[in-house]
């Protein structure tokens, strides 16, 4: 286990741009100072880093230092579904991908819908993460009668947020009705507790199922018909209205539709306390890619048209969408092109590929490196009350660092992959810009494609909730 004291010679990126600076760390693994280098000291050296030197110094000449990514949407399947992933493998994949904090979703087994299950999960996961982590609770239909007490108790245990699954997805946790959600958001309106919504309307999806027998099971458009845009937009509008009427802090997961971007922008102008995320799969793929990728690109909500994809980029660049998360959803079972497009499992294992994919986009000019920092670390940390401890490299912040080689070419393959499941449409993809070392609170956790430490990630009990 290597405690790092300085990272020298690199370029430190923030939301505001690059800085030629050395990073000085204190004994607690926090950033002590950023020492800007003079023009005479360019740190120029023939061979490129990273190179580990005496006294815990990393020579990062030619490399970029990014605040480690904060992935606010992962499913590590632990406890209960560990044949697909567990916290050790999921967090190892995170570390290799430059992700230093993850927030894990509550559709594990048992579902985290009450304080007992959350306490059980906190104990089950302890000591088994390479990166720092938060855990969601869920608002579930079974607890509708004592929802306020259940949510209050989960918040008291440190839940990073409360997830509401408005549509059927893995685990099929049912949400309370709108009346109960309204009471819930009214009650917690000023507390700062984040309510995170999967926006697809259950009733719309259940009705649409009857269309199956008239649809072609091999045609990707059949899946899009069974998960109508109407259901996604209805749920999104309902959640935005909930935020406007109650003042609650609402987060919309995996935005995939252009009309949703417009609705979110409008709700923000009206003063809603809303943040929104999208995911690499919605930014890089569209329905036209199904013949190439096949079932590997099946996700919920589904990946839609090229027009939606372009609107999501625009939404990010203009600020309607705040951040990128992965919705890392590993499934062990191989998906076959011979089964119907509407058959589960859905989801994409993505925690390791998010940063490489986005850095590659930045290097191609689709956005800037500062945009990537804002979307993958600063804004996600802000959305869940973790900023500036996480999501920045300002003095006093945790020294969570993704050390990136902007020249390194990568390929998504078995030599690099750390997750248990390989369900990704990006398998085999090549690009440029790779995290080559990762620090969590000043400790070297991954180095040149290998794990470099024991799992010492910490549970981040949410301190943002004002009680
Ligand atoms: Zn999810």
Q: What is the pLDDT of residues 47-85, one digit of tens each?
A: 677 999 999 999 999 999 999 999 999 999 999 999 999
- CA 441 / ligand 1 centre spacing (Å): 27
- CA 127 / ligand 1 centre spacing (Å): 24
Residue identified by tokens 């994809």 is: 309
The mean per-residue pLDDT over the stretch 385-407 comes to 97
- CA 6 / ligand 1 centre spacing (Å): 37
Query: Which CA distances in Å does 421 have to 130, 290, 330, 351, 428?
Result: 18, 20, 5, 12, 14
- CA 19 / ligand 1 centre spacing (Å): 35
pTM above threshold 0.95: yes
Query: Which CA distances in Å does 372 have to 18, 343, 359?
Result: 12, 34, 7
Q: Is the pLDDT of residue 41 over 60?
A: no
What is the C-alpha separation between 314 and 42, in angstroms, rounded? 36
- CA 47 / ligand 1 centre spacing (Å): 42
Q: Is the pLDDT of residue 465 over 70?
A: no
Select from 54, 101, 108 the least CA-distant residue to 81.
Answer: 108
What is the C-alpha separation between 454 and 268, in angstroms, rounded? 42
- CA 106 / ligand 1 centre spacing (Å): 9
- CA 16 / ligand 1 centre spacing (Å): 30
**pLDDT band, very low/low/confident/very high, at 336 (cuts 50, 70, 90):** confident
Q: Where are the domains of the chain?
A: 68-383
Side by side, the strands of the sheet bearing 132-135 are 69-74, 99-104, 132-135
- CA 346 / ligand 1 centre spacing (Å): 10
**pLDDT band, very low/low/confident/very high, at 463 (cuts 50, 70, 90):** low
Q: Is the pLDDT of residue 438 over 50?
A: yes
User: Can you read off the two tokens belonging to residue 434?
Assistant: 């790779």
What is the C-alpha separation between 245 and 159, in angstroms, rounded? 24
- CA 251 / ligand 1 centre spacing (Å): 13
- CA 72 / ligand 1 centre spacing (Å): 10
**Cβ atoms 424, 412 nearer than 8 A:** yes
* Residue 370 pLDDT: 98
Q: Is the pLDDT of residue 194 over 80?
A: yes
- CA 416 / ligand 1 centre spacing (Å): 24
- CA 300 / ligand 1 centre spacing (Å): 8
Long-range contacts of 450-453 (CB under 8 A, 24+ apart): 451/92, 451/95, 451/96, 451/130, 451/418, 452/2, 453/1, 453/2, 453/130
Could you tell me the CATH superfamily of domain 68-383? Metal-dependent hydrolases (3.20.20.140)
- CA 93 / ligand 1 centre spacing (Å): 17
- CA 170 / ligand 1 centre spacing (Å): 8
- CA 226 / ligand 1 centre spacing (Å): 19
- CA 431 / ligand 1 centre spacing (Å): 25
Q: Which residue has the higher pLDDT, 464 or 89?
A: 89
* Residue 451 pLDDT: 97
How much is the mean pLDDT over the chain?
95
Q: What is the pLDDT of residues 418-433, one digit of tens each?
A: 999 999 999 999 999 9
Q: What is the pLDDT of residues 126-182, one digit of tens each?
A: 999 999 999 999 999 999 999 999 999 999 999 999 999 998 887 789 999 999 999
């Amino acid at each position: 286990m290597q405690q790092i004291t300085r990272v020298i010679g690199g370029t430190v990126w923030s939301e505001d741009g690059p800085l030629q600076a050395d990073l000085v760390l204190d004994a607690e693994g926090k950033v002590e100072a950023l020492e800007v280098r003079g023009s005479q000291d360019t740190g120029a050296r023939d061979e490129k880093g990273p190179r580990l030197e005496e006294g815990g110094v990393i020579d990062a000449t030619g490399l970029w230092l990014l605040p480690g990514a904060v992935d606010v949407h992962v499913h590590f399947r632990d406890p209960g579904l560990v044949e697909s992933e567990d916290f050790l493998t999921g967090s190892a994949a995170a570390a290799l991908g430059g992700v230093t904090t993850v927030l894990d979703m509550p559709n594990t087994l048992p579902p985290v819908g009450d304080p007992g299950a959350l306490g059980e999960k906190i104990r089950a996961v302890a000591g088994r993460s390479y990166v720092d982590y938060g855990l969601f609770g869920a608002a579930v239909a079974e607890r509708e009668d004592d929802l306020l007490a259940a949510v209050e108790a989960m918040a008291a245990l440190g839940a990073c947020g409360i997830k509401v699954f408005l549509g059927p997805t893995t685990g099929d946790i049912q949400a309370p009705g709108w009346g109960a959600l309204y009471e819930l958001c009214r009650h917690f309106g000023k507390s700062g507790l984040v309510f995170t919504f999967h926006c697809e309307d259950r009733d719309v999806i259940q009705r649409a199922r009857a269309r199956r027998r008239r649809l072609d099971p091999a045609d990707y458009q059949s899946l899009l018909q069974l998960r109508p845009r109407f259901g996604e937009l209805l749920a999104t509008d309902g959640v935005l209205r909930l935020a406007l009427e109650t003042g609650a802090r609402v987060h919309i997961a995996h935005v995939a539709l252009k009309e949703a971007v417009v609705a979110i922008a409008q709700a923000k102008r009206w003063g809603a306390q809303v943040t929104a995320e999208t995911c690499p799969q919605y930014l890089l793929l569209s329905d036209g890619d199904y013949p190439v990728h096949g079932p590997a690109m099946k996700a919920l909500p589904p990946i839609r048209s090229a027009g939606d994809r372009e609107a999501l980029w625009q939404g990010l660049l203009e600020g309607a969408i705040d951040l990128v998360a992965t919705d890392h959803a590993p499934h062990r079972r191989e998906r076959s092109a011979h089964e119907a497009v509407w058959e589960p499992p859905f989801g994409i294992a993505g925690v390791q590929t998010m940063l490489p994919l986005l850095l590659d986009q930045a290097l191609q000019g689709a956005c800037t490196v500062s945009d990537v920092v804002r979307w993958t670390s600063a804004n996600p940390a802000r959305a869940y009350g973790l900023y500036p401890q996480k999501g920045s490299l300002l003095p006093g912040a945790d020294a969570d660092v993704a050390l990136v080689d902007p020249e390194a070419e990568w390929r998504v393959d078995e030599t690099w992959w750390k997750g248990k499941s390989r369900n990704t449409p990006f398998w085999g993809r090549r690009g440029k810009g790779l995290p080559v070392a990762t620090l969590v609170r000043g400790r070297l956790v991954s180095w040149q494609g290998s794990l470099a430490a024991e799992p010492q990630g910490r549970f981040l009990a949410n301190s943002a909730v004002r009680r």
